């Protein structure tokens, strides 16, 4: 202690002065790179999209004309329907299965088995999105699929039968779940580990079994994590693009290249050379994501202190 006090710099030293004028500079430096990238590739493109959405090809203010044009397109309503149906399948399966699997994983007694399971859950998420879809293109083709016996048992003998339009919401949900749910299972597992063992012990002493413990103790305490997952999964789900786009290519168009709103926006931009209407659709998706996130946060008390 004495050493510290004798070697401490006087209050007016240059180092002290710098700290006083720039408090928390370490933190600022840590986030600076992120902030720069966020502005360059997040904020500026978003503002640019909003600018496009309210102007025409000649850069004149267009009011809501681009939004009207998008809504008037013959593919618009069907794309909304496709995305809505997919979101229902995707969000329900995500919540039920992720929470269920995390609870099961949490009850696994063997540390080794738990570690292996967590690793296996996480692996698909480590693959890039497009690569994951490519894997599924093979899995879904009964001629080359390693689970072709399963598909033949379900009555599918060709790729065309598997990718019938009515099956697409389920197929996209399967792909998205396989790609993205593993990470969430690991997150939920971590959250479950944060629940006080005393609480679980008390529940056990009170006679609560696994089901009652999960329903009355663990799931309510996971609520904020579930809401967080829902917000991100909803935003990601409305952006559906890679899965239908690649499936469309692989099925030589059977799956349709304007299945989702993002695909429709892409088509407007690069097929119809209408960037303004494309931007209007992307702004709509942004607004929907923000509104739904707001509703989730408000209804769940996401920011309430425990």
Q: By the criterion CB under 8 A, which residues form the site for other proteins?
A: 43-44, 47-48, 51, 59, 73-75, 141-144, 157-161, 164-165, 249, 251-257, 269-273
Q: Which is nearer to other proteins, 94 or 255 (CB)?
A: 255
Minimum CB–partner distance for residue 128 and other proteins (Å): 19
Question: How far is CA 99 from each of CA 120, 134, 181, 187, 298, rounded to the nearest angstrom?
Answer: 17, 27, 10, 10, 22
Tell me the three state secondary structure of residue 61.
Answer: strand
Interatomic CA distance for residues 237 and 293, integer angstroms? 13
Minimum CB–partner distance for residue 236 and other proteins (Å): 23
Question: How far is CA 91 from each of CA 83, 159, 263, 275, rounded to the nearest angstrom?
Answer: 12, 26, 21, 31
Per the listing, tokens 């407007």 go with 268
Minimum CB–partner distance for residue 151 and other proteins (Å): 11
Q: Which is nearer to other proteins, 161 or 201 (CB)?
A: 161
Handedness of CA 128, 131, 135, 140 (dihedral sign): positive
Minimum CB–partner distance for residue 79 and other proteins (Å): 13
Minimum CB–partner distance for residue 33 and other proteins (Å): 19
Q: Which is nearer to other proteins, 168 or 226 (CB)?
A: 168
Q: Which is nearer to other proteins, 62 or 105 (CB)?
A: 62
Q: Output b/e per residue, 151-174; b: 16+ Cβ within 10 A.
A: beeeebeebeebbeeeebbebbbb
Instruction: State the virtual CA torsion across 17, 19, 20, 23 in degrees, nearest 10.
Output: 160
Q: Which is nearer to other proteins, 48 or 149 (CB)?
A: 48
């Amino acid at each position: 202690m004495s050493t510290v006090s004798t070697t401490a710099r006087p209050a007016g030293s240059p180092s002290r002065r710098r700290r006083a004028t720039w408090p928390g500079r370490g933190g600022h430096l840590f986030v600076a790179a992120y902030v720069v990238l966020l502005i360059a590739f997040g904020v500026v493109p978003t503002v640019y999209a909003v600018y496009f959405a309210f102007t025409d090809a000649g850069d004149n203010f267009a009011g809501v004309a681009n939004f009207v044009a998008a809504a008037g397109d013959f593919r618009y309503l069907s794309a909304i329907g496709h995305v809505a149906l997919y979101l229902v399948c995707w969000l329900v399966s995500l919540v039920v299965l992720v929470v269920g699997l995390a609870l099961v994983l949490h009850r696994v007694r063997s540390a080794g088995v738990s570690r292996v399971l967590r690793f296996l859950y996480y692996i698909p998420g480590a693959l890039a999105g497009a690569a994951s879809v490519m894997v599924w293109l093979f899995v879904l083709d009964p001629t080359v699929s390693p689970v072709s016996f399963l598909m033949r048992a379900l009555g599918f003998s060709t790729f065309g039968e598997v990718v019938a339009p009515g099956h697409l919401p389920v197929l996209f949900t399967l792909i998205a779940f396989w790609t993205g749910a593993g990470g969430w299972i690991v997150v939920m597992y971590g959250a479950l580990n944060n629940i006080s063992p005393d609480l679980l012990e008390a529940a056990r002493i009170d006679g609560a079994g696994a089901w009652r413990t999960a329903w009355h103790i663990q799931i309510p305490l996971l609520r904020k994590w579930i809401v967080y997952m829902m917000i991100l999964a909803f935003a990601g789900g409305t952006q559906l693009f890679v899965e239908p786009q690649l499936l469309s290519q692989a099925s030589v168009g059977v799956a349709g290249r304007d299945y989702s709103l993002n695909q429709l926006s892409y088509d407007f931009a690069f097929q119809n050379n209408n960037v303004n209407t494309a931007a209007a659709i992307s702004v709509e998706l942004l607004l929907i994501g923000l509104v739904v996130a707001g509703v989730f946060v408000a209804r769940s008390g996401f920011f309430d202190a425990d």
